[in-house]
Every structure is written in C-alpha cells, then in structure tokens.
Structure 1
C-alpha cells in the first residue's frame, strides 16, 4: 500500500480530500503574533503582564529550540495559555481573524479553495495555529473540516498542553529543500495544496500518519451535551403512556392570568402559533386607571414585538384570528372570586379546563402589601375559585429560589410550612395572618397624632406658617399624604426583610413566594394543582423570535454593570448561575398544562439548568464581559477601546471590601467632609457618591444569588414529561435544556438582546422596537362571556384627563400596577 493510501483513509465513493496549507496558500501568520494576542487579552490585568512576559521569553528562546526539536518549541509557545478559558480563546481567535487576518487573505488562495469546493472536493484547512483562529477562517470560506493544533482543556480551562499529534512548521532547512524539489517538479503545487509528503513534514517523527483522519476537526464549534439519566428511586409514578399535547389541549378552555407579563405574553404567543386548535383562552387582566382590561390587551398586541410573528403571519386578519380564540375578562387575581361578577364567574366555573397563573411580582424587596397580595393572597383566591370549578386544574408559576439560604441539591418537592432552616415552629397560616395584622397596625400607627404632626412639620420643611390660603392648604395635605405613604412603605419593606431573614430567605420576593406555595399546599392539597418553578428567566432562544427580552429582569442590572469600568464583582466562582430562556420555560409550561389536564402530573416542576447544563459564576461573568468586548470592539473611539479591554473578575467579599467599591465610597465620603470644612461645593463628588451608592445597593441586592450558598435545582419531572411526547411533537413541544450552548447564548444572543431591549430602560430611554404603529381592535363575538360595552368611550376633557392621570399615579396605585402580569 502506498504512503498516500496509508495517510488518507477515506470513503472511496467520495472524492479524495484536498489538504490546503493556510500559511502558504491563504495568508502569512507570524508565529508569535497570535500567542502575544492571546496573552495580552487575558481576563485580569495581572494575567496579561505575566502571560505576555512568558510569551516574550519563549519568543527569544524558540529559534534555538526549533533547531533541536520543533515539536517541543511549538509546545512551549502555548504553555503561557495555561488557565485561559476555551470561551476566551474562541472569541479572541474570532476577533483576530475578523480584524487582522481577513483583510490580508490572498484572493488567489480564496479563489483556489472555491474552485476545489465547486468540483465537489472536500477541503481540509491545515495549519500549525490553534483551532480557535482557523475555525472562523474555515467558516468564512465555507470549509467544513480543519487540521490544526488543539489545546487540552479541563473544566473548560486550558492546561497549556497541546494534544497529540502536534502540528508544527517544518525545520527551515528541511522545508526549504522540500519546496525546492517540489518547485522543480510540480510548480503548480506551490499554491497551498499539499501532497502526502508535505503532510508528513508537519508530523512529529515516529507518528503514525494513518491517524490524521481521526484528528480532523469539524469547522463548527463542538458542544458537548450533558445527558443525564432520570433515576426514580421508587418515589415517582412510572409514566409509560404517551402524552400528546395537541390532542390533550385541543378544544380546551383556559384561563390565563398574567398575560401582560414576560412569561405570560410569550406563552400566549406560542399557544396561538403552535396550538391554533385550542378551545378558548380567557385572559384575566386588571383595569389600570381609566384604561380597561380590553384596551390594555389591545395595546400590548399592537405595540409588543412579541406579537410581531403573529402580525407577519396573519396580517390584517390577526384580530379575527385572536378574537375567535381569546376573550379578555376584567378582574384581579388578588381579590376574592378573582374580582369577577357572579355571572362571569359562574360561566367560567362550568367551562374551564385549566387555570394558568403566571402573574407575579419579581422585585426583590417591594412594599410588603403588594408582595402579600400578589404572591401570597392570590394563591388562596385561586384555590377558592378552583374548588367551585367543575373540572378545572391549576398551574401556578412560582420560582426555584423559594429554597432560600440552603446548599446542595434542591429536590422537586413541596413541603407545607417550609422554611430554609427547617424551623419546627413555623406555620404558614399564622405567618400570613401575622403579616396582615402587622400591615394594618403600621397603617393605623401612621395616622396617630404624633406621627401626623411629624409628617406635617416635614411637609412644611421645618417651618410653621400661621396663614395659608386654600391652595396652599391642599398642597400641604398632599405633601403630608405622600410623606405618610412613603413612611408606611419604608416600614413595611423593613418588616418584610426582617421576617425573611429571620426564617432564612434572602429577600421579600422569595419569602412571599414560598409562603404562597405553602398556603397553596395547605389549602388545595386534594385539588389538581401543579407548581412550576422557573429559575432566572431570560432571553428567548427562538420563540417568539431569537433574542426577545423585556423589562429590567434579574441579570440585566449586573450585565449592564459589567459593561462599564466596574472591575471586581464579589461572587463565588463555583456557584452555578441558573439561567433559562423564556421560550424553554413556556415549552415546559405547555407540557405541565397537558399533564394537569390528563391528571398525570407531579406536584412540582422545576425548570432550571443548574443540574442538567450548569454554568458557574466564573464562566457567566467572563462570557458577559466577552459579549461586551465583542460589541465595543466593533465601535470606534477611545472610550470603546478602553471598555473592550476592561474585564470584570470574580473576587471574594473580603477583597471587594478592601480594594473595590466600598473602599472608594469611604474615600469619597472623607474627601467630601474635608471639602465641606473649607466651604467648597463638590457637586461632581456628590454625583459620583450617589452613583456609587446605587451600584453598592445593586450588588447587595444580588449577593444572595451570586455569592451566598451553593445549590442546584433538580429538573427531572419535566424531562420525564418531555420523553412522553410522541415523535411528531418533539420538535414543537420538546423540552431540552442540555443542548444550550452557553457561549453562543451569552455572546451572540442574550447580551445583545439586553442591549437592545433592556439597557435603554436602565438608561431612562425607550427601546427602539423598529415596529410601525398598528391599530389593533379585538372584535367582540356573540358567544363571549363578557357582553360588548353598551357605550362607546368618549375622549376625556383635558381637566378630567389630568385628574385621572393624577389618580392613576398615586403611590398605592403605582404599586398595584406592577402586580398583574409582572413576571
């Protein structure tokens, strides 16, 4: 057998692959430039210094080492990359190609490769550089295979060792003599196309050439899926039947609560897009000031980008399509009987098959009144409503973080009277009653004569006025009322935080969510109820379109902060940051809905990735910074150049206090006190101080999720449901979190989505949706539960409009506006 036959063992039915040498046919890459590029763009400043110094030392030694052993010289050149992540090397390689190599590609080499591809030849790019820079080159040329050097990685960090076989540039004399011979005999072969003898020159001495086919890499990034078996341990029912979502939900009537929120809005879009055979969907929406529930929904459909795919699909017929399937019901989940009149409630009692409650409040430490009414009172009203229904079930959306301050694996279990510290004296009913009594007590206390006089003096600015006109009296009363409202809110927030910390929760949000779960378990134990616990819900993978996000959600403030000059974030590198795309949550919600209707459901479903596809804080921080780097690198200007090179690193709480933001706050406070003694007005310093205070509060708020405790959420129940789907429904309704490529998700999807939809809100701007104004009106059908309004709305006079706006923006009303649908 010839050497060429041994070297390339391929399928004889396909054309022989064409090996193309990058350094000869396409471009000339100085062997030290890439190593310096990787080293100088490490994550920490200290890393950049010692890695760059190591590369510089090896640059001086490599010519001597190459004469003796070129394989050893190639290995040593990559040793300073030890400890760098695969994610960083991938992005830096892509960046190096886009900005430095692509403009230098030789047109004749590109044309030669295109000719080979047009003839059906399978082209393999060969280079002694790392795969991280040759892969974007191959993708640009539409080449599917490459033969390059590969670093060894452990836990996604480079060990500094090149994997065998090492491809190195041949020795100077050996390569020169070989090229002279080839030039004399085959002058047409010096364009980068390689012969078998050329390949042999790249391999170490004694290497078996027949293994080359096994080490050829695909041009696309390889993502290792973490498939985990679901073990029952005898505690779970065996689900052997098939669960068809289409058959189960066909013709079913559903009451959706929270349809104007993030999760509810996306789930409704998916429902209309993937399940047009659904029966009727009733949307419980609360009136907001002078705007009716129907007007609120019409505004959402007309203006929200989430409904753009439906507008594109149905055009002017969307209103009729939605009107045949949806009906808006005005009510409030935080009120008894969901705020519905008896006739409407009776109709729903008889016809409903399922209730989906995705309404919730996600502010970490809101007014306790709002947190109670939304997260704790609403489940009780839902249980009462569900008991009166003929055959309906309930899917209640909670959160994974009801576990509180715990460590280890968080199982999919529901424990009445649960506390993170397992306090035996905790009683959910008594705690709920205590909180309501405390709210009433604080409200009565605010109306006492002592506090009223204190509020009055504060409203006057500490000065009493003996004479005041009627207008001044009204203004004074308004100021007193606002001060009283603010005092009540501050007292209730403090009460809620203290109670949460006492029982083991980090904030009011997780405390009241867990309280709501306990009350749901205690009051509705014999009813068909399933609790769905998503983790941190973020940008969509594909539905309603790729990269949809809305509002200032959980990771947005931290992500925005990492795009500034903020350098040190107190966090636990090993802690798993559990993020899940919103459309994956909605797929899980659809599966659970079908299971509840079929009465084959579990009590709890956790929709999370920390157990099935984990990503720790170290990687999340680095990926966020790399996404910012990619964005700023595409812009011009010194400001963007600096921001692209300022990466945030994870540090301990002690280091953060000593050399980061808390230390700067103390320095600024001391400087302000010094300047105050010399009557110097430091307006700029005061603004910086306020900015640091805001950043400090954000970090304090997020510390429980990025620093404290190490836990991960089991997500076996939803995996079992997904495996019950028939084969023809897996693509539309299957739930699979293991296939998410976090590199692509953070860098190319999530952070760009935040930059488009969320960062403008943080900066006080409206996001640019790029949508044309639409006029959407939902038709009223004769079979509706709610009859058409008898009187058409007339335009309000200017004076009445201003009064209505003032009434709608009262502090208490502002709080309530956040509750309905605030996912």
Structure 2
C-alpha cells in the first residue's frame, strides 16, 4: 500500500482524548503488588520477568509454569533465571535459588488446567499461548480460548470472598496480537473487533474436530491407502516396519487435517489463520469475563529482537522473519510473494515488554477493556521492499560461508506477485517428484546417492518454501495499519526518569541501524557458530566410534563392558561386492563347457525379471527362488570348490575398509557377527574374521545332495533384528552400545535395534533413513583383485580336477537348467 504521512494515522494526542495513563514512577506504582505471569519460559515472558526483577524491586512476581517431563515448574523457572540476561539480578540476590526465594513464587500448572492462584494477586499478565500460525485446530482452541477462560476463572476465584463478592479488583492484562484484525484493510483502531462469532460454539466444534478426523483416519479406505504407501517404501524391511510406518503416516495425516481444518475455518470467517482467529476469540473471552474488573489487551505486531534492553539484538529462538532471512542469506529463497509496497509491521521485543509493564501500572475503568497496539506501521512504516533492501545489504557485506564454492549467491527479488511465485513453486515441485521417482530406479552407486542427496536438499528447500509461503502469504500482502494512539499516549505519560528505561514509542527505530546492525547480526551469529563447529567436527555422525587411532583403540580396550558389545555386519554390498545371483553363477558356470555356460546364463537372465519382482515383494522369497537352482548339487563338493578355487576370489572382493573395521572390533574385544542371506559354503573363507556367522543352510538328502530348499527361513529384514535381540539376551550383550553395518533398506530393522548403526554405501531409501535419524554413513570402496567374471570364464577343460557340483552322470556333465517360476 502507499504509505500516508504519519500524522494522518493518529486520531489525537493524549491531551485531546484523556485515557489510561501512568502518573508517577512505574516502580512506585507497582511497589508491593503481586503480579501473576504466564508464559515465562517463552520469548516475551522471559524478558518481561527479567524487566520486572530488574526495574520493579518491590514487586513480587508469581509465575505459572507447567511441568515438562521430569523437570518440575521450579526446575524450569531456575533454568530461566540461570540465563545470561539474569546474571546481574541473580548475583545481587545471592544465586538462582535465593532469587526465587526472595522475588519469585512458582505455581505449577498448565493451560487450561490452571491451579488456584494467590489470593493476594493484583495483576495477571497472560502472555502464554500457542504462537504457531498453524497449530491443530483443537490445540489452538484449548490454549488460546479455553486456557484464557480458565486463567480468568481462577483469577476471579482468588479475588472472591466467601459471600461470592469480589474482595479486590484485579487488573487482567492479555498479550494478544495486532493481527486479530483478520483480513481487514485500512486503519485498525485500538478497540474491540466487530464480529458476531460465538466463541463457545466455535470452541466446541474445534475440539470435536479431533474425534471426527481421528475416526476418519481409522476407516478401512484410509488405512488401506496409508498401508499401501508404507508398503511401497518399506516392504523389503518387513511387516512390522511397514506397520510402524503406516501408523506414523496416519498420525501425520491426522495432524495435517487438523491444521487444515483450523486454517479453513479461520479463513471462512475472515481471519488469516487459526492462530489469529483463536486469539481474537480469546479477546472476546476477556471482554466477557472482565465485566466487573479492570482489563487491558496488548496487541503487538511482528515481534523481533530487542532494540536496547537487555542488550541490542536479544532474541530467544527463531520468530516470524528469521527463517526467511536466513534462507535468503543462504541463497535458498529465490522469490517472495510480498507486495513491495505493503508494510511489514515489525516491533522490537523490548518495546512490547515496556508497554506491557506500563499497562500493568494503569487503572482502566472497571468493565471497560482497553486496547494497545504496539506496532510501527502507523508512524514509522517500513515496506517489504525496504526491508528486503536492508537484508540484502547486510548479507552482501557479511555473507554466509559457502564451503568450497564460496559465499552463497543472493537472489535478487523482483516481487512478481503471489500468483507468479505459486506457479514457479508448483512447477518445481512437479519436476522434483518426477526426478525422485527416477532416482529410485537407478542402479546403486555413489553418483546415484549424490543425485539423491541433491534431490533431498531441493525437497527440503521446496518444503520450506511451501510452508512459509503458505503461512506468510496473507501477511506479505496485507493492506492494513495499526493505529497506536493509546500506546503513544501511554508512552508520553511516563515519568521522565522512566522514559529511557521503558521506551515504547516505535517512531524512534532507525530501520537501517536496527535491521542491518542489530537484528541480522544477532540472528546469524549462532548460525555462523554452528556452521563453524560442523566444519571443524566434520560430517560423520555420532553413531560412529573411532577405533582406528591409537587413542580410540585405547579407550575401547579400557571399556570394562567391551565384552558386552557386538558388531554385526551384512555381507553383500556391505563388506563384499557381490549378490546371490552372481554367487550362484560363480559356483555353477565353471563346471560347464562353453555352450552350457551360455545356456545357463541365458536361463538366469530370462528369470531375472521375475526374480526382481519377487525381491521387491519379499526378499526371503527371492532368496528361496534363487536357491532352488542348487537342487542336485553335492554340498561337500561345493564346500571343497569354495575352499580350493573360490576362496581367493571371494577374499579379493572384500572391502579393505570393511576388513579393517572388523579387525578393529575384534581387537577392541567386541563380538563380531556376520549376518547374511548368502549360503553357508560361500562364507567359509570369512570364518577367520568373525566370531559368529549366520548364513542360509542348504537342505540335503541322504546322499548329501542339495534339495533346492533351505533348512530354515533365510535371515532377512526383521528376522535379523529378532536374531540379534535373542542372541543379545542369551549372551548378555548390550545392544544399546553395539554396532551394525548394512547397505540395504531391508536391513533397517537390524540397524534400528542397535545403538550405533552405520549405513555402508547405502541404497537411496536407507541413505534417507540414516540421514533422518542422524546415523553415520560411510563409503567402503571395493576393488576386486580380478575381473568379476574370472571364475565364470573357466571351462571344464581349463580347470584341474574340477569338483563335482551337481552330481550329474559322467556322460552328461551339464544337465538342463531347472526353470524357476517368478512366484516360487
């Protein structure tokens, strides 16, 4: 919007329209009073507590704090006063415990489960609430409406005598938001917002939505859809993994639907989101419940870091603008759907805190609620384009380090409009979806993983943009401004001695100074420190243990519990470059002449599509299908062939990194275990490396010939985790301190059951699971000493005394291959 001269936004001066003001020093006006606060562990509440303790020495503060896990309300309050800004007042009191004893009463409770409040209270400041713009609809109502009502009820009970009459008149101060105005345009006065919404009916409906959506999530149609989505991603890992993922998806669907319900209900009634909608209904609760007491509502706009107190740039956590500012600085926010001439109404946190304390010292007329806008857009506006220029100037002068590629390239916004940004985002999302489907079909390689990681980074950026553009689209195009006559009047009525300490006139903010030299440095400093720490520490996650250095091995050996640690290794793709089909061909082709080699290879190739279909459905069924081809083989001869001919080839295909790691575990005193779906004869050369080998055992008949079946189900997917848990219980192993190494998403259960999982050259699904859970990922290079098909190229004539594998009659050394059905 076009910004009009500042004076046109103000209705009058304090002299023209007398209203609640302060007459005297705030410390004197509030001396001896008891102020009950909520939200002390939050952003505004923390600074509000600090300000009261520092500037109101004769005021007692009672804080309503909820228990969180094992931390009591007192523990959490102590954690607050141990923070940096409380150092002075803490030391003056003699320590955090002494500060609580002298100045702070701790009340353990929650919203809306508010306990009895002190009967000597004078002021209640309610600054707790759900500050997310998109909470689930029931949560928003429970916190912002029911919580407000419950707090006011307890306050009135504390001030009521046995005869039911008020024995003292409290002052209730609600911290709301200027955006309770909703989707209005133009000037917004400091007054109640006109609407006829029944907050009780809306609250009941909002709470009922959870039951409705929960019930819908459990319908057969919905569960079938979610289960099939989970099976598509996790079938290879097993039924329990799929079931767990189905339930995760159901809960996420419920959450998303509750958020959607809140957003749509709010917008259908004229508000931008459920946060501002329920805050507006909370204001109506204040007006209704405050008919016989003093009430005030403080409406800050977009609250950001402090201008002056407790120090310039003080901020706790990321608020509304920070994620967008940081994303822009990293070059990840190409555009924004803001109107360049719309006002972004930002206010420093200390101005909100100062105004709130000043409001506490007023005495509004009983039954008449007073409203105060703490905002900047009316008299000191800054547009989105102006704010963008300040942000860009800062990052041009102080760029983020971009690693080897140098500083991030800053996008240059053109402000093309919301529709253009939406088209760009939608097109990018569709392109990403196509690329993501393609990467899952590519052969496993480091190049494929790099492509997938790039896609994942793109996905994160797109999700970030979708979320924040959806949340802030309305705010970025708003055409309203908040008149702040009452706040200006209050500011001007402050005692001259209080003016510097309790300043709340936002007209004094110099936006160049504030944005470029206060706010941006304060929010980027912790990010820069974290980036530097990551660069110093490296990218390897915490599930890795250093066993290669002398110091690392010394620590491992010194561990008195080392004998209770195991290290489980998968074989194919993890420590060895091979697969079960290749292993079969190694053992089968050398006994055949050239013609029958081609015939057998052709048979395997023809069966390959059916094998792959079976593997996608069930890894165990795939192994059984391949192992049918061993029917008729002499097991003893196969073992001899492995010992005399294949052993060197098998060992030549081991990863040196893997072998080194196995030996490090053994040296450290850990039990090393090989868990594989490979047949046992092929693991014989690996026996010196492992304490325990779990492999597939081929069943044989009375003559020692393989039947084509196994002696038991192959250990795949969840059965590996079950085996490890059983082994650990039998041998008193501590899985929480143990290791597992695997390369396939089907091994997710095995990796999940130990405390130190490591993904080794993983497939894309496992790579993503490892990244999501902060597991270590390593690349173990495998460079076979000989060509992959060295054994397969040997003919019967080229071998010396070839062992008999199939037991075929001497006149027919190459029986016809046994066909394998895809549904075996």
TM-score band by shorter chain is 0.5 to 0.7
How far does residue 283 in structure 1 lie from its aligned partner after superposition? 0.9
Q: Which of 168, 188, 201 in structure 2 is aligned with 1:430?
A: 201
| 3-state secondary structure, aligned to 2:193 | coil
Q: Which of 27, 31, 42 in structure 2 is aligned with 1:246?
A: 27
CA 321–761 in structure 1, closer or farther in 2 if over 3 Å, else same? same
| Long gaps (5+) in structure 2 | 160-167, 538-733, 738-824
1:299 is aligned to 2:84: no
CA 759–309 in structure 1, closer or farther in 2 if over 3 Å, else same? farther
1:414 is aligned to 2:185: no
For 1:237-266, what per-residue CA distance to the aligned partner results, in whole angstroms no more than 9, with x for missing partners?
445872531222101011110000000000
1:718 is aligned to 2:491: no
1:579 is aligned to 2:350: no
1:652 is aligned to 2:652: no
| Long gaps (5+) in structure 1 | 1-153, 157-223, 419-423, 769-798, 803-823
CA 249–716 in structure 1, closer or farther in 2 if over 3 Å, else same? same
Maintained 8 Å contact 1:538/1:549: yes
How far does residue 528 in structure 1 lie from its aligned partner after superposition? 1.6
Residue 686 (structure 2) aligns with? none
Maintained 8 Å contact 1:621/1:649: no
CA 738–609 in structure 1, closer or farther in 2 if over 3 Å, else same? same
For 1:251-285, what per-residue CA distance to the aligned partner results, in whole angstroms no more than 9, with x for missing partners?
1011110000000000111111111111x211110
Maintained 8 Å contact 1:575/1:706: no
How far does residue 569 in structure 1 lie from its aligned partner after superposition? 2.4
For 1:409-444, what per-residue CA distance to the aligned partner results, in whole angstroms no more than 9, with x for missing partners?
11111136x3xxxxx6x4322222221222233334
- Give the 5 Å matches for 1:415-814: 415=193, 418=195, 426-446=197-217, 482-565=248-331, 566-596=333-363, 603-632=370-399, 639-640=405-406, 643=409, 646-657=411-422, 661-669=425-433, 682-684=451-453, 686-757=455-526
Aligned length: 522
For 1:431-461, what per-residue CA distance to the aligned partner results, in whole angstroms no more than 9, with x for missing partners?
2222122223333444567666776777777
CA distance in 2, matches of 1:247, 1:449: 66
CA distance in 2, matches of 1:368, 1:762: 36
Greater CA drift, 754-763 or 507-516: 754-763
CA 631–388 in structure 1, closer or farther in 2 if over 3 Å, else same? same
| 3-state secondary structure, aligned to 1:727 | coil
CA distance in 2, matches of 1:239, 1:363: 31
Greater radius of gyration (CA): 2
- Give the 5 Å matches for 1:73-112: none
For 1:32-76, what per-residue CA distance to the aligned partner results, in whole angstroms no more than 9, with x for missing partners?
xxxxxxxxxxxxxxxxxxxxxxxxxxxxxxxxxxxxxxxxxxxxx
For 1:452-476, what per-residue CA distance to the aligned partner results, in whole angstroms no more than 9, with x for missing partners?
67767777779999x99xxx6xx88
How far does residue 361 in structure 1 lie from its aligned partner after superposition? 1.6
CA distance in 2, matches of 1:649, 1:739: 30
Maintained 8 Å contact 1:665/1:689: no
| Higher relative contact order, chain-length normalized (CA < 8 Å, sep 6+) | 1
Please tell me the root mean square deviation across aligned C-alpha atoms, in Å. 4.1
- Give the 5 Å matches for 1:372-387: 372-387=141-156
How far does residue 735 in structure 1 lie from its aligned partner after superposition? 2.1
Maintained 8 Å contact 1:334/1:374: yes
CA 765–446 in structure 1, closer or farther in 2 if over 3 Å, else same? farther
| 3-state secondary structure, aligned to 2:494 | coil
Maintained 8 Å contact 1:243/1:595: no
CA 760–506 in structure 1, closer or farther in 2 if over 3 Å, else same? farther
CA 661–440 in structure 1, closer or farther in 2 if over 3 Å, else same? closer
Maintained 8 Å contact 1:254/1:352: yes
How far does residue 620 in structure 1 lie from its aligned partner after superposition? 0.4
CA distance in 1, matches of 2:492, 2:355: 12
How far does residue 490 in structure 1 lie from its aligned partner after superposition? 2.1
Maintained 8 Å contact 2:25/2:495: yes
Residue 40 (structure 2) aligns with? 259
CA 688–450 in structure 1, closer or farther in 2 if over 3 Å, else same? closer
How far does residue 377 in structure 1 lie from its aligned partner after superposition? 1.1
For 1:712-760, what per-residue CA distance to the aligned partner results, in whole angstroms no more than 9, with x for missing partners?
1111111111222222222222322111111000011000111124677
CA distance in 2, matches of 1:462, 1:561: 30
Residue 57 (structure 2) aligns with? 276
* TM-score calculated relative to the size of structure 1: 0.57
How far does residue 624 in structure 1 lie from its aligned partner after superposition? 0.8
CA distance in 1, matches of 2:7, 2:85: 31
CA distance in 1, matches of 2:431, 2:214: 40
For 1:90-118, what per-residue CA distance to the aligned partner results, in whole angstroms no more than 9, with x for missing partners?
xxxxxxxxxxxxxxxxxxxxxxxxxxxxx
CA distance in 1, matches of 2:532, 2:279: 29
* TM-score calculated relative to the size of structure 2: 0.57
How far does residue 372 in structure 1 lie from its aligned partner after superposition? 1.6
CA distance in 1, matches of 2:63, 2:397: 41
How far does residue 511 in structure 1 lie from its aligned partner after superposition? 1.8
How far does residue 499 in structure 1 lie from its aligned partner after superposition? 0.5
Maintained 8 Å contact 2:34/2:61: yes
| 3-state secondary structure, aligned to 1:738 | helix
How far does residue 350 in structure 1 lie from its aligned partner after superposition? 2.0
- Give the 5 Å matches for 1:34-53: none
For 1:612-632, what per-residue CA distance to the aligned partner results, in whole angstroms no more than 9, with x for missing partners?
211111110110111112212
CA distance in 2, matches of 1:400, 1:764: 39
Maintained 8 Å contact 2:21/2:490: no
CA distance in 1, matches of 2:534, 2:86: 22
CA 396–636 in structure 1, closer or farther in 2 if over 3 Å, else same? closer
Residue 758 (structure 2) aligns with? none
Residue 388 (structure 1) aligns with? 157
Residue 397 (structure 1) aligns with? 175
CA distance in 2, matches of 1:292, 1:363: 24
Maintained 8 Å contact 1:621/1:650: no
Greater CA drift, 649-658 or 735-744: 649-658
| 3-state secondary structure, aligned to 1:360 | coil
For 1:309-352, what per-residue CA distance to the aligned partner results, in whole angstroms no more than 9, with x for missing partners?
445x53844542342010211001222xx1x2xxxx2xx35211
Maintained 8 Å contact 1:386/1:393: no
CA distance in 2, matches of 1:569, 1:241: 43
- Give the 5 Å matches for 1:168-207: none
| 3-state secondary structure, aligned to 2:296 | strand
| 3-state secondary structure, aligned to 2:128 | coil
For 1:490-540, what per-residue CA distance to the aligned partner results, in whole angstroms no more than 9, with x for missing partners?
221121121112112222211221222223323433432211111111111
How far does residue 653 in structure 1 lie from its aligned partner after superposition? 2.8
| 3-state secondary structure, aligned to 1:731 | coil
